[in-house]
Amino acid sequence: MVYESERIVFVSVIHTDIESVEEARRVVRETKPEVVAVELDHDRYQQLMNPPEEGEIVAPGAEDMAQDLMLQLAILEKSLGKITGSDVGDEMLAAIEEGRAIGAKIALVDRPMIATVQAMMQVPVDEMYRLTGMLPDATKEIEEGGASDLLAMLKEDGAVDDLMEQFRSEFPGLANVLIEQRDQYVAKALHFILNDVEGGIVAVLGAGHIQGVKTALDQLLQ
């Protein structure tokens, strides 16, 4: 899904979704922006270009609990990607590749992973335990055939917003770190880019971040 705002075209993607990969590529190719901004930081980009070995630490420098949560999230995403045929980050790499093909600047606008993990250490312990405990069952459900149902649900109008609200209700501390703080960071990065270039920008972001980033950016532009 594409949203236009001033000089920025926002591309809403679902990780591990092949259609999102093609959408990101198409919008960059047709829009021909001066800058392609993607929801990656330097470390995450390097991991995508040079995938870690099985069992290798996903979030270097993290305490055990946060590290375990990030690892479980990575396992879930990897399981989903094996079924859909699109790995997490493929849509970002596709946008980068297409951007380079048209001579666009590439901006990695996500908050550094290590900063996000460090912020997680301020989240109540029970939230960390509860979400970490839920992820193996979610991974098993995906592996047993739930992947297509999950992707279909996420593409329904309003589904992502409803899911984000439910997550905020059940895990407010984690939602603040994984969603709201990152939305603010991305918005500030896009605000900087708007002031730095005169041309258009294509911003490729996960569906759960679009509204938060747009709201934060609107506030910065007032």
Q: Are 220 and 191 in contact (CB under 8 A)?
A: yes
On the CB side of 105, CA atoms within 13 Å amount to 13
Model confidence over 192-213: pLDDT tens digits? 999 999 999 999 999 899 999 9
In the three-class reduction of DSSP (H, G, I as helix; E, B as strand; rest coil), residue 9 is classed as: strand
Q: What pLDDT shows up at residue 216?
A: 95
50 vs 171, higher pLDDT = 171
The yes-or-no verdict on residue 177 having pLDDT over 90 is yes
The number of distinct structural domains making up the chain is: 1
Model confidence over 117-158: pLDDT tens digits? 889 888 988 998 888 888 877 777 766 665 566 666 667 777
pTM to 2 decimal places: 0.85
Average of pLDDT values for 157-175? 88
Query: Length of the chain in residues, anyone?
Result: 222
The yes-or-no verdict on residue 15 having pLDDT over 60 is yes
Token couple for 206? 């996960």
List of residues 6+ apart from 119 with CB closer than 8 A: 177, 181
Residue 114's domain spans which residues? 2-221
In the three-class reduction of DSSP (H, G, I as helix; E, B as strand; rest coil), residue 198 is classed as: coil
Average of pLDDT values for 80-92? 74
Strands 105-108 and 35-38: parallel
Computed over every residue of the chain, the mean pLDDT equals: 84
Reported confidence tier of residue 60, pLDDT bands at 50, 70, 90: very low
